[in-house]
A and B are shown apart, each in its own frame.
Chain A
């Protein structure tokens, strides 16, 4: 499809994992019985007032700084006014023309080339409640009524908006993976799309290849995983491209991604934009962070994924691809480094254990705190106490179940036998023919003899050791 090119921007909403809500002291937790984490403030009762959560503001500033953006010396909360039952005040306290963060960039790896995606802004607002549409058929369009749960209302939400610098679904994926890793490394959010702590809307347009003008922008909502985002953008680019080719006009609208049918559909929304009647929030004084405060936050920034990747490649000599996989999941990367410290093996080899065995098979939560077990398995393998194959099995089992590796090894009789003197004698005695052939110069026969050792020991012999001993024996 070289006749047209795609222009993609992503708008992500990040629920901060602070202890309390944005403007009141209700606990900020996922789940729970409906309307059990509310108070007069977040329910929008008459007479109540917001007071901003300092930690939420600082986390927002950190996100901006981690993206290499500017933290505004003067920023304001604004009221975004519209009526919707999931918003207790029928306005959302958000930010408008003076957001906390502006500019910056997020670098993504596009086929081995590092390219920056420029950031537009980082701002802070409050989340809405959750609506459940109730109908006999379960389809929103046929809902008879709706039910509101305000547990989530007032949770701090950071909006991270990119410039439309991405050009493909793959780039969008790379951006999201990198952004998620960055946010996880900062420790500011749980960033779980399946729980809604990371949400993403995409803005997609297409234009003739080489054109500098922007095409008609379509907003896509309702993508619940990174894979959904990739699929939805791909579909939309094709849809728009086809329309362009047929000379059909495109409408600026919001479309809904239907995961089951794999298509975007038009939401029955009007063409004109909402009139949000933004005005500065009169209940909240402006935020004016000084150099000292910003400097302190900057100093508190942890090593970010990009820097970590570079360190893995340059200092630890981990192959780039492994480094990329590890750093996209900061919790795993932490564990990886812990393991490298604990064992005296090349980091590259350790990395393989993580990327090829652990990460694909063990949920990250299970791996937390299992550094010792991982190190133990790697040691057992390197000391040839168990085979590599056995090692993979034991590793997944030990980390996943929480049991000790040695226990599993013993239970399954996986320990390799290296004291093979007696068995070697037997095999040599029982196989005069092949022994003769080997002594005659036929190298390949050694494998057969090793196999006989393995058979006699029920597979528990250390094959390397068996081979060494046989060779020694038969050469004398």
Chain B
């Protein structure tokens, strides 16, 4: 008998409507799990238990009254702490926003809340979404439920771990260089990054504006499709949101992969990729082949430079986006400042962590007089080349395939002292942020240490349907039933 908190959202939704469980039951199940494991996982920065129970009660009453509700109603979920929630402290994992209470809801949560979703709390993350291990949070690291001495990945480590540990049924995170897909891979859950602009960024506290994308964490592909369908679509408050009508991405999910042409990005199965990861990916290719997909080698010639371009573009945009944190209107403020420059400098010196400071300085440098063309300008051109690489690839293929991360979960502290080594964690995910195309990570096996491996499927702009269809077919065939030992223990 599976605990409610370990079920997929679509199963819970069925149970609500069949009278087999209530939203309150589900919320209590999650809260119990949080109580049992979060002292060790540390996925949550804030648990909004009372509010969650209140919302659940309201949803149950509406069900009881015979109302037809969206599939997201009553599903207990978590939000990465870079997503603004009105009246609930939102910190971005930083001291500088330690006291910040947003006066508004981010659009994704506004849409979900209206549909009756239940918020369990805000999850821990790398500070301002900068990191690949969740070790950059000012509030302590998150621990991977599969092995508590390892990282969950980042920057949305808290959301990934929460879903993996049964603390939340699904969650939202953000993906700027891989920050949803990579932790999903390391935590053995489904992590989906849709096309840039499909989901509104209003209320997503900005790191890198042209790269930031809201993404989903869930146990199944169907849940990811449901969530994205619920929150996507044009937002008049975000000028970069695409003029697409809301679509139901669960339609056509069962279409299968017969005849699908999939390109394997060979550069991504070479040196630097752990043997356990390679093996799991090769097995996944074989499985998809049995299901009817055809494979050929694909190449993204400039993917090699994508990392470098990203580490100029993202810091540049972030150096500007984070300028507003100056101690004047909200957040932390340094004491006894002699003048406003002193106020700004010491507030930011005290409030930001190392990684954030490094990226702000890198970005400031890349934009400064005399260096703009050589760095920022050039990086934007490389971005164009990466986009063209994808366009060319998608002329030949319906989807591209590769590992999400070169490694499975590494030990806490292992890479923290070496920024460059940490950056390499995102080498396979970054290209889809530069190009803005949809990409999903789903569990495809375990390595020799029993740690999950993520399979990445990449699609063309606005072709979420193909990505989800292939992922769903794979998932249904594989049936990834492994659970973190922590969960086995708690559920017993």
Contact = CB atoms under 8 A, between A and B. Distances in A.
Interface of A: 40, 43-52, 79, 81, 83, 85, 88-91, 146, 148, 275, 277-279, 282-285
Contacts of B202: 47-49
Nearest to B212: A282
A90 B324 contact: yes
Interface string B344-370: 100000000000000000001001110
B204 interface: yes
Contacts of A45: 102-104, 329-330
A49 B320 contact: no
A88 B328 CA distance: 9
Contacts of A40: 102-104
B481 interface: no
Interface string B221-240: 00000000000000011111
B369 A275 contact: yes
B385 interface: no
A46 B368 contact: no
Contact of B328 (A50, A85, A282): A85
B206 A47 contact: yes
A476 to B, nearest CB: 88
A89 B320 CA distance: 8
Nearest to A52: B239
Contact of B323 (A48, A81, A278, A284): A81
A232 to B, nearest CB: 28
User: How extensive is the interface on chain B, given as a class?
Assistant: 35 or more
Given A40-B103, A45-B330, A85-B340, A284 B239 contact: yes
Interface string B182-208: 000000000000000000011111100
B104 A277 contact: no
Contacts of B102: 40, 45-47
Contacts of B203: 47-48
B376 interface: yes
Contacts of B369: 275, 277
A79 B320 CA distance: 8
B238 A49 contact: yes
Contact of A83 (B201, B326, B329): B326
Contacts of A89: 323-324
B80 to A, nearest CB: 12
A282 B239 CA distance: 10
B367 A81 contact: yes
B308 interface: no
A170 to B, nearest CB: 38
A79 B328 CA distance: 20
B368 A275 contact: yes
B372 interface: yes
Nearest to A82: B323
Nearest to A24: B237
Nearest to B341: A83
Given A46-B205, A48-B202, A90-B326, 7 more contacts: A47-B206, A49-B237, A51-B238, A81-B367, A277-B369, A282-B317, A285-B240
A50 B83 CA distance: 17
28 contacts: A40-B102, A40-B103, A45-B103, A45-B329, A45-B330, A46-B102, A46-B324, A47-B82, A47-B83, A47-B203, A47-B204, A48-B202, A49-B239, A81-B319, A81-B367, A83-B323, A83-B344, A88-B329, A90-B324, A90-B326, A91-B320, A277-B319, A279-B320, A279-B372, A282-B240, A282-B317, A283-B239, A283-B240
Contacts of A278: 367, 372
Nearest to B328: A85
The B interface, classified by DSSP as helix, strand, loop or mixed, is loop
B97 interface: yes
B139 interface: no
Given A88-B329, A275-B368, A282-B210, A44 B239 contact: no
A47 B326 contact: no
Interface string B302-338: 0000000000000011011001111011100000000
Contacts of B83: 47
B367 A279 contact: yes
A277 B364 contact: yes
B77 interface: no
A81 B320 contact: yes
Interface in B3-56: none
Contact of A46 (B100, B210, B328): B100
A466 B367 CA distance: 86
Contacts of B106: 47
B92 interface: yes
B84 interface: yes
B344 A46 contact: no
B103 A283 contact: no
Contacts of B103: 40, 45
Interface string B62-100: 000000000000000000001110000010100001001
A471 to B, nearest CB: 80
B346 to A, nearest CB: 13
B294 interface: no
B58 interface: no
Contacts of A48: 202-203
Contacts of B330: 45-46
A117 B179 CA distance: 55
In this complex, which of B83, B84, B324 has the most chain A Cβ atoms within 10 angstroms of its Cβ? B324
Nearest to A143: B339
Interface string B400-442: 0000000000000000000000000000000000000000000
A277 B237 contact: no
Nearest to B325: A46
A276 to B, nearest CB: 9
Nearest to A281: B209
Contact of A279 (B236, B323, B341, B376): B376
A146 B84 contact: no
Given A89-B323, A90-B323, A277-B368, A50 B239 contact: yes
